[in-house]
Structure 1
Amino acid sequence: MQNITLIVIGKLGQAFLQDGCAEYTKRLSAFCNFKVLELSEELIREKNASEAAIAKALAKEAEKIFAAVPKGAEICALCIEGKPISSEEMAAYFSEKALSGNGDIAFVIGSSHGLDPSVKQRAAKRISMSRMTFTHQMARLLLTEQIYRACTINAGVKYHK
């Protein structure tokens, strides 16, 4: 069974987001070994943070991210510079990875300041959810649903239309 890890900076706040993520996590258990690793966001004490302060925080978050990536997993970063993909393309990516013999994938969602450039550089794949802006918590729910949708496409289960 394929191992898919979602590495996120920060925790979910609103109950509806927690409920949605929990529902898709439960559903995913039939298709893959799915786990979420929540890492703490680096605190920036400056009210109007300087670029240097943000860069320092992102570098510390990157260290946590790299430590959390399961051994052998391919990093897939969610970032605005990434390529938008369809649900079918996501499903094909999962199939391709599974057939390669090393199907483990670690999706990464950064903090409100994004991801350190080192995470993007080390990522084998960079995906953009949309040209629209979502909160990082909403992106987590949307990505979890898309992972589930990709799994159902590959399994031939009636969910995707």
Structure 2
Amino acid sequence: MKITIITVGKLKEKYWKQAVDEYVKRLGAYTKLELIEVADEKDMDNMSEKDIEIAKKKEAERILAKVKDDSYVYTLEIQGKQLDSVELARHIEHNMNIGKSRLTFIIGGSNGLHQSVLARSNFALSFSKMTFPHQMMKVILLEQVYRAFRIMKGQAYHK
């Protein structure tokens, strides 16, 4: 199984990079992991709806260029379905059991995801109704994927 996480924007702060590195190391025991960062569009104050849509479309083109045709795609969306950790583990395991060997998780930028990315999604996943910085969301997602593998393997995890 290969898991790809595509994010808009780069991690800049050292503490986020350290947290990501820790979970990448831990996940290495369970799966092949690829982290892809695509460039974000500059977000200016007072952007019109049209400007926001143009920015999202440009980011979408970069994202979709990295998504493999055979990948099962999870998009992280506020309006998506909320799962607990065990349900996420079961969802990932189900995909593995039916032969989906490539899973891709997509985290959008500050303006969200363009409709073309949402249309490519196989599963809209929500971690909360709240909005999180994409840097933090990347760490949370990695932690939950790691926790999912621990659950699938019947290993101890913090409840």
Structure 2: which amino acid aligns with 1:82? G
CA drift at 1:74 = 1.1
TM superposition score normalised by structure 2: 0.95
Which letter maps to 2:17? Q
> Matches of 1:159 and 1:17 in 2, distance apart?
22
* Distance (whole Å) between structure 1 residues aligned to residue 45 and residue 153 of structure 2: 49
- What secondary structure sits across from 2:152 in the alignment? helix
- 1:22 alignment partner AA: D
Matches within 5 A, 1:142-161: 142-161=140-159
The answer on 1:119 being equivalent to 2:113 is no
> By how many angstroms is 1:16 displaced?
1.3
| CA deviation after TM superposition for structure 1 residue 73, in Å | 0.6
State the match for 1:11 in structure 2. Answer: 10
**CA displacement 1:78-116 (0-9 Å, x = unmatched):** 011111111111100111111111231110001100100
**Which one-letter code corresponds to 1:153 in the other structure?**
I
Q: Secondary structure at the match of 2:35?
A: strand
Matches within 5 A, 1:24-63: 24-44=23-43, 46-63=44-61
Q: CA deviation at 1:149?
A: 0.3
* Structure 2: gaps (5+ residues): none
Taking every aligned residue pair, what percent have the same amino acid on both sides? Answer: 39
RMSD (Å) for aligned C-alpha atoms: 1.2
Answer yes or no: is the 8 Å Cα contact 1:153–1:160 preserved in 2.
no
The residue aligned with 2:20 is 21
2:104 to 103, 106, 116: 106
Map 1:52-91 → 2, pairs under 5 A: 52-91=50-89
Amino acid at match of 1:129: F
Q: Which whole-Å CA distance do the structure 2 matches of 1:27 and 1:70 have between them?
A: 24
User: Which TM-score applies when normalising by structure 1?
Assistant: 0.94
Q: Secondary structure at the match of 1:68?
A: coil
Q: Spell out, residue by residue over 1:48-103, the C-alpha distance to the aligned partner (whole angstroms, 9 max, x if none).
A: 10110110110111111111012311111001111111111110011111111123
Aligned partner letter, 2:119: Q
Mark the runs of 5 or more structure 1 residues left unpaired by the alignment: none
Number of residue pairs matched by the alignment: 159
